């Protein structure tokens, strides 16, 4: 009986890059997730209590249900994009400074 040949299995992708688990990224994701949960669940839970407040002729609960959650989601995406761009610029500046620092001096 011949031994079974090992079939070449494709290599699985390695772990996520360590910079995606940076503390700044985790705090950003956690904060935005908390904001999403508050708008989605807490505001919906108190929607009946918010009906007493009227904005532009409509109860506040209607505005939050019809528009607020969607606008908040868009705001979360915009904040996430802005913050990640800022983090990338900071990381690029830090890497450039390290590169310059490590470069051999010619003199």
Could you read off the pLDDT of 89-103 as tens digits, one per residue?
A: 988 888 888 888 777
User: Distance between CA 59 and CA 39 in Å, rounded?
Assistant: 17
Tell me what pLDDT residue 72 has.
87
The beta-strand segments (E) located in 1-107 are 54-55, 58-59
Half-sphere exposure of 62 (CA within 13 A, CB side): 9
Domain residue extents for the chain? 23-106
CA distances in angstroms from 62 to 12, 44, 53, 87, listed in the order given = 48, 10, 10, 37
Could you read off the pLDDT of 4-20 as tens digits, one per residue?
A: 665 655 555 555 555 56
Max alpha carbon distance in the chain (Å)? Answer: 84
Could you read off the pLDDT of 48-85 as tens digits, one per residue?
A: 887 888 888 888 877 777 787 788 899 999 999 999 99
């Amino acid at each position: 009986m011949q031994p079974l040949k090992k079939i070449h299995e494709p290599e699985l992708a390695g772990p996520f890059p360590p910079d995606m688990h940076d503390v700044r990224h985790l705090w950003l994701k956690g904060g935005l997730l908390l904001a999403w949960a508050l708008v989605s669940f807490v505001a919906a839970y108190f929607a009946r209590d918010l009906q007493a407040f009227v904005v532009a002729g409509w109860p506040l609960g209607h505005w939050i249900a019809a528009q607020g959650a969607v606008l908040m989601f868009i705001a979360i995406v915009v904040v996430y994009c802005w913050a990640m761009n800022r983090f990338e610029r900071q990381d690029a500046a830090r890497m450039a400074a390290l590169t310059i620092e490590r470069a051999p001096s010619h003199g």
